[in-house]
Structure 1
Amino acid sequence: SLMAAVRNSDELIATRFLLGVAEAGFVPGILLLLSLWYKRSEYGTRFTIFISGNVLAGAFGGLLAYVIIGNMNGKANIQGWRWLFLLEGIVSFIVSLIALLIIPGFPEDEKFLTTKERQLLMSRLHPEHGTAGEQIRTVTIKHALFITLKDWRVYLMVLHNICINTALNSISLYLPTLIYKMGFDSLKTQLLTLPPYFFGWLFSLVVSLHSDHVQLRGHHIICCAIIGAIGFLMLANLKNAGMLYSATFLCTSGTWAAGAMTLAWIPNIFYHPREKRAIAIALILSAGIISVKGHMINASFLLIAAICAIIMRLVLKRKNEKMRQSEDEKKSTHKIPYIL
């Protein structure tokens, strides 16, 4: 809401910075929280449902902005874009207050659960989270930070996430511009952004359901990244408006599904201990917020992301084989097989 009161670029930059600081821990925190309440086999669908809020916001955000700016401009001597920031900020503030009351904490600490319910929950999550009688917090934050930073797989996933999010943010930010340049007016442009967003959301949900069903992540990420890359290659090389518009469906569906599956894969790769999982999620997600306009660049990034996923899948497959071959459990630092 403070952005509605800015008077110059410096104030706008300052308020945007504060917004970024406030939002920085939101997605990593929610992903960690979901990973504590659900089994790894359920991450795909749950994470996709959560992240689909961004997709639906993108679908209707432009149209909402068009309506608010068009109808509120000049009301109470306030410009339309200021009304947009003000109203969206007020709604967000109200929702945040409600969230404080309903979002739970760690399962073992929640007071709204009875002892029997807590034991039932922990036994359901066993052996992934431990039984109710086990000590879950096993390492200090300092040690967790150390073992996270020395794990080379973290940096591979950082690269992977940067590549996925570069394409994802690019299509999200520039989709209206792409459609507008196809020859449509402003209103039709806003309306025509809805089908690609909706299809991307639906495709992501179907992919996540299938991923949870077959207990595979890497295959889905690789295929979806390739689908997105094909879409960007079409945008870079085709001229026909109909074909270009069709390409946006491939871009949205491929990038968003790959992004959602990546979010579901990260907590599985860095599952134990819980503190390492939290730090790894934060580090990986904090390094993926950039965007570019070049379609060939976005296609290249998605192909690099697919290669990263292939490498990670091979690494995890090898670790699973070593765990199965190990006769002495003490030789295995991760007794639960990784989801590939």
Structure 2
Amino acid sequence: MDATQHGLIASKHPIAAQTQPSSEDVVDEQSNRESMRAIEKRLVRKLDLTLMPMLWLLYMLKNLDKYNISQAKLSSLEDDLGMHGTQYNTVVAMATVGYIPMMIPSNMLITRVRPSLYLSTFATLWSIIATTMAACKTYSHMAGTRFLLGLFEAPFSPGALWLMSCWYTKQELGLRVAVMHSGSIMASSFAGLIAAGVYSKLEGHRGLGGWRWLFIIEGTVSLGAALVSFFFLLDTPKTTTGAVRWVFSEEERQLAVERIEQDQVSNQKSNQSVWYGLQLAIQDPRVWVLSLIACTQGSTTGYASFYPAMVEGMHIGGTVVTLLCTVPPSMLSAVVQLVVAWLSDRFRDRSAPIAASMVLMIIGLAVDMGTSRSAIRYFASFLYITGSDAVFSIPRAWVATAASQTSEERSCAAAIVEVMSALSYIWSPYFFRNEDAPRYRPGMIILIVFAVACIFCAGLMRWILWRDNRKMLARYQGTGPMPVLHIL
């Protein structure tokens, strides 16, 4: 480089040319960075040891209370309540019907109250309702009670997702959402074990059907956990209330606020109105594509309330053996879901894991329909259950970062995704009709159609975010700092 060139560069950066940082300054800066990294690791570790276990436990018990209806079907539920035709399907769907009117208003409200008290209150209410289901005498009683169960459970999932997005960054969130959802998968596993134990010991005890004892026991356990959560759930990092005050130091809390602000995609808005956040969410096409991903994935789980009956049709053993055989596929899917979520975070890719998991599900369904051998059909269930469950957490983590122009939009977007997902749990039970038992081939074909639709929607979302990233890069070109981009 000649002197003229050197002079031109120096003229652009006169301060840098005159005062070079000393070695002591460099050492101090490096020491500060290492200190901040240590504080951040401690912060995340505390979150993983306080917030996540409580959310996991409540989410597991919520799903245990919601889906124990499938184990009740193997007891005397239908005979005791005089159900026939598609009435069982309707009872299954009614809990999800209760979700729909509650989710969006709830997630608008949660941004203005203490999340710890809000979520714990609703956990207490759904636990009480879950316990009283044991007292139902007719089909209409059970349908109405299941509606109330869904109504009180509705705030938890979108509210928990929003609360996690207030603490965890994009590269941390996918795995944590998967960890929370593993509670649902573990509920499916524990449900079979608990039901097997209850039915073997308490069926007919004190003149009550085994399904009534099942509801009493599981509802009571949920109530105990809900009361404990009042003391251990966290509020947002911008507050110093409740558990936040004694879990985190002021330095950790401030760092929690700063790192979430720095992690937001470079398209932030300054208007913090709840109604403006709802408007942004409704007008954002990314929210609706993510909703379609969640809805089509949810539709692929239509087998869930019928899986015990499907295993029973394989003639592997009696009721207790059937219930025990429902456990291993759920256990495997819990592990695979965590691995898929970790890979999604690690490689910053959401669409590819969705597509791969849905392909696995399609293979499992095809194998099941292509053979009559019980052992092969049981093996195939590992494939389609694992493939379906592995996808669940990804669109939830995706929406927390792809639709986050304000915290309020992020909250409303999460609720919209959950509402659209809830729709799938209303119609999916009707895919499996009693007259199609025990193979349920028409229902399996419908699941394949939804799996293909989920793959298409994931590809569409990837293209939309790739286009948005190009626009942001063009807008920031030549301005110095690089924008924070969407994860594809």
Q: What's the CA shift for 1:55?
A: 0.2
CA contact (8 A) 1:137 1:275 kept: no
Deviates more, 1:303-312 or 1:287-296: 287-296
Residues 9-49 of structure 1: per-residue CA shift (max 9 Å, x gap): 22212211111100011111111111111111011110111
What is the letter of the counterpart of residue 305 of structure 2?
L
For 2:226, the equivalent position in structure 1 comes to 96
| 1:336 to 2:484 alignment | yes
> CA–CA distance in 1 between the matches of 2:332 and 2:303?
14
Which of the residues 215, 219, 240 maps onto 2:348? 215
| Cα distance, 1:315 vs structure 2 | 0.7
Amino acid in the other structure paired with 1:225: M
- Is 1:231 the counterpart of 2:231? The answer is no
Cα distance per residue 1:239-286 (max 9 Å; x no partner)? 222221121111111111111222221212112211111111111111
Determine whether 1:178 maps to 2:313: no
Per-residue deviation, residues 158-178 of structure 1 (Å, max 9, x unmatched): 22211101112x232222222
2:465 alignment partner in structure 1 = 316
Q: 1:339 to 1:237 in 2, by over 3 A?
A: same
Instruction: Judge conservation of contact 1:24–1:286 (CA < 8 Å) in 2.
Output: no
Which ranges in structure 1 are unaligned for 5 or more consecutive residues?
none
Amino acid at match of 1:183: H
Q: 1:266 aligns with which of 393, 396, 399?
A: 399
Aligned to 1:165, which of 287, 291, 298?
Answer: 298
Instruction: Report SS of the residue matched to 2:392.
Output: helix
Q: How does 1:31-180 map to 2 (within 5 A)?
A: 31-111=161-241, 112=245, 113-128=248-263, 138-168=271-301, 170-180=302-312
Work out the CA distance in 2 between the residues paired with 1:107 and 1:85: 37
Instruction: Report the Cα distance in structure 2 between the residues aligned to 1:137 and 1:88, rounded to whole angstroms.
Output: 45
Cα deviation digits, residues 176-205 of structure 1 (max 9, x gap): 222221222222221221221111111111
Give the 5 Å matches for 1:5-20.
5-20=135-150
CA deviations on 1:89-117 (whole Å, 9 max, x unpaired) are 11111101111211111111133144322
Query: Deviation of residue 136 (structure 1)?
Result: 9.7
Rounded to whole Å, the distance in 2 between the matches of 1:79 and 1:181 is 23
User: Mean Cα displacement is larger for which, 1-10 or 303-312?
Assistant: 1-10
Please give the TM-score of this superposition, normalised by the length of structure 1.
0.91
Alignment correspondent of 1:193:
326
Paired letter, 1:122: V
Distance 2:292 2:218 in 1: 33
- Determine if contact 1:171/1:251 at 8 Å carries over to the other structure: no
- Judged with a 3 Å threshold, the aligned counterparts in structure 2 of structure 1 residues 136 and 324 are, in CA distance, closer, same or farther, namely closer
Cα distance between partner residues in 2 of 1:10 and 1:152: 39
Residues in 2 aligned to 1:137 and 1:28: alpha-carbon distance in whole angstroms: 23
Task: Look up the match of 2:21.
Answer: none
Residue 302 of structure 1 and its aligned partner are, at CA, apart by 0.8
State the 1:68 CA deviation: 1.1
Q: Sort the Cα spacing of 1:104 and 1:38 in 2 relative to 1 into closer, same or farther, 3 A.
A: same
Write the distance in 2 (CA, Å) between the matches of 1:129 and 1:2: 44
* Distance change in 2, residues 1:179/1:79 (3 Å): closer
- Which structure has the bigger radius of gyration? 2
Moved more, 137-146 or 100-109: 137-146
* TM-score normalised by structure 2 residue count: 0.65
- SS across alignment from 2:263: coil
Distance in structure 2 (CA, Å) of the matches to 1:214 and 1:64: 38
Moved more, 312-321 or 281-290: 281-290
User: Which amino acid letter does the alignment assign opposite residue 117 of structure 1?
Assistant: E
Tell me if structure 2 keeps the 8 A contact 1:31–1:47.
Answer: yes
Read off the aligned partner of 2:471 and give its amino acid letter: K
In 1, are the aligned partners of 2:192 and 2:327 still within 8 Å (CA)?
no
Alpha carbons of structure 1 residues 187 and 310: separation in structure 2 relative to 1, 3 Å: same
Equivalent position of 1:275 in the other structure: 408
Amino acid aligned to 2:307: L
In structure 2, runs of 5+ residues without a counterpart are 1-130, 433-442
State yes or no: 1:285 paired with 2:434: no
Once residues 387 and 310 of structure 2 are traced to their aligned partners in structure 1, the CA distance between those partners, rounded to angstroms, is: 17
CA distance in 2, matches of 1:120, 1:154: 29
Contact 2:277-2:408 within 8 A present in 1 as well: yes
By how many angstroms is 1:129 displaced?
5.5
Contact 2:354 2:391 in 1 (8 A): yes
Query: What SS class does the counterpart of residue 300 from structure 2 fall into?
Result: helix
Rounded Cα–Cα distance in structure 1 between residues aligned with 2:272 and 2:323: 50
- Alpha-carbon separation, structure 2, partners of 1:327 and 1:55: 43
The one-letter code of the counterpart of 1:268 is T
SS at match of 2:303: helix
